[in-house]
A and B are shown apart, each in its own frame.
Chain A
Amino acid sequence: MICFERVSKRYDEGHDALREVSFEIVKDDLVFLTGHSGAGKSTLMRLVMLMDRATRGKVIVDGIDMASIPNRSIPAHRRDIGVVFQNHQLLFDRCVFDNVALPLVIAGYDHREIGRRVRAALDKVGLLNRERALPVTLSGGEQQRVGIARAVVGKPKILLADEPTGNLDPALSAEIMQLFEEFNQVGVTVLIASHDLILISKLRHRIITLSEGRLVTGGAL
């Protein structure tokens, strides 16, 4: 589903964020990506969702070489991937419902379908009764759940999460991780970047470790 072949990424200022990274994540897998900050976790995620392009090597997502996607098709590519951000990236002047509905509005669903899907997603993350609330009135954990609902509402095949538990206490973090496992069980390929080793080692999934841009462990299937 996600395949890296000797991928390097060098930023303009000469910093090598990724060096010759190769791995493959098969369909329906759940994989953790770990390493110190600056190890290249975020860069790897950015390459998958085409916020950046690889300097060398091949990034293949869902069978498509990312190099073959022109800039104007990047939005369509992003609509096929659900992304959960560490800082949530919510619209703070819109209610929970509108935030979750955003990907569907972009994709052009009619409002009945949007209502149905948004409520299903909110139900899944346990926020159905807060759909009219503004994000500022929610706790950090709840805001992250809104972000997750938004990521899955379009029923993507791939779900990326960049430090989804970064600011949460252990109990909440475990709940969030359990949510990701549930999505994985219904056939979503999940890639979670996290430096919370204690938490992820308990979960018995494959772990890819990066260090200074190099892949250290977890490259082989």
Chain B
Amino acid sequence: MAEYMAQGKQPEVLFWVGCAGSFDDRAKKITKAFVKLLHKANIDFAVLGTEESCTGDPAKRAGNEFLFQMQAMTNIEVLNGYEIKKIVTACPHCFNTIKNEYPELGGNYEIMHHTQFLKSLLDEGRLKVEGGKFKGKKITFHDPCYLGRANGEYEAPRNLLEKLEVEMVEMKRNKKHGLCCGAGGAQAFKEPEAGKKDINVERTEEAMETTSEIIATGCPFCMMMMTDGVKAKNAENNIQVMDVAEMIANAEDL
């Protein structure tokens, strides 16, 4: 982004990568797949790179409002400094925080989740789904809480899956009633409290009941939890976990 600014240019959109997309090996693949699609659609985009920092979501949900607001205001200063208007992110937690909690602290941007952004590109004809690798395959979609219940977006990722001509199978608990993967509220960074089962295992079992080949999702943390869940069930050979963006990027049957 600094380079754009130096040249006095503004990108069409800023890609907010997020911590998982930057550091987690599995989530980095989502980042790369999404970037591939952005290139393919000839989107003029930028990233903050080393100037990006945690949005503060886990701090806020853990109860540390101080740390959250420090993160938020620092980020807002950077974003406003670059005169950013439009942001896209592949993480529903970053999406929710920037969309709902930054405006009160002085950060007003048009922000889209990457499934919403990809859907708009497809609708505008700037991007086409090529290849039918997933055609007819049984796929179930796991709703990320911070995309679905938190912000009411259930359809954008499902529309993308429709474009891939998959056979959608809904889990028993879906959309408004979708079961959390267990990562939200800063749970991803701690061990769960004592109970009879881990939440991600419960959700993975539900996904496996649909006999889908792929659990599609739109959140790097759901990705981690569901991938762990699949491992815990020793089902890596039967069922995969993929981000919707990865599926579109890899739809070409190579």
Q: Do A and B originate from a single complex?
A: no
Interface residues of A (CB under 8 A from B): none
